[in-house]
């Protein structure tokens, strides 16, 4: 009986360990950010919002990390975004694995939009027309939102 408990306990332990390893090495976008371009574009169109596409190296690009910390993670930006934007992250991590389809999509989007470096923020209207491009800028969420408003108002 003791051997059965040990085998079952070992199975539970190995299952838990496998789950932890899979979740530790899986990549997910920041909360509130989409990773599927088609879905993001559809949401932007149906909600009459702009689509903000963040081309980032989330785990290695210093300017990307600063942009996230100084702008995207701030409540002022999140509140603005909830009313005006659909957010999409197109990530090119070095220490995390993306799924095959997501990696392929991201590479295709980088080619399509001519991305040369990170961070590059491409802003699209609901029809997918490029209306602007931004990068890291000092000044926190207020400065970033001011630039987005200029794009939004044409």
Each domain of the chain, given as residue ranges in start order, spans 26-153
Q: What is the pLDDT of residue 108?
A: 98
Q: What is the pLDDT of residue 2?
A: 52
Q: How far is residue 114's CA from residue 126's CA, in Å, rounded to a whole number?
A: 20
Q: What is the pLDDT of residue 20?
A: 35
CATH of domain 26-153: 3.40.30.10
Q: How far is residue 111's CA from residue 113's CA, in Å, rounded to a whole number?
A: 6
Q: What is the dihedral of CA 144, 43, 53, 145, to 10 degrees?
A: 0
Q: How far is residue 141's CA from residue 80's CA, in Å, rounded to a whole number?
A: 9
Q: Are strands 50-56 and 85-91 parallel, antiparallel or unpaired?
A: parallel
pLDDT averaged per 10 residues, the chain (length 154): 53 43 48 96 97 98 98 98 98 96 98 98 96 96 97 88
Q: What is the pLDDT of residue 30?
A: 85
Q: What is the pLDDT of residue 29?
A: 74
């Amino acid at each position: 009986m003791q051997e059965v408990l040990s085998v079952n306990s070992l199975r539970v332990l190995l299952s838990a360990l496998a789950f932890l390893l899979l979740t530790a090495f899986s990549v997910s976008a920041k909360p509130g950010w989409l990773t599927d371009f088609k879905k993001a574009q559809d949401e932007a169109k149906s909600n009459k919002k702009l689509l903000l596409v963040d081309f980032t190296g989330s785990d290695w690009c210093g300017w990307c990390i600063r942009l996230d910390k100084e702008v995207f993670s701030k409540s002022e930006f999140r509140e603005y975004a909830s009313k005006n934007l659909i957010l999409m992250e197109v990530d090119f991590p070095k220490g995390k694995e993306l799924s095959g389809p997501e990696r392929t999509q991201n590479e295709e989007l980088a080619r399509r939009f001519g991305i040369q470096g990170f961070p590059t923020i491409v802003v699209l209207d609901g029809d997918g027309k490029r209306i602007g491009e931004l990068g890291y800028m000092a000044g926190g969420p207020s400065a970033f939102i001011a630039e987005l408003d200029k794009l939004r108002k044409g």
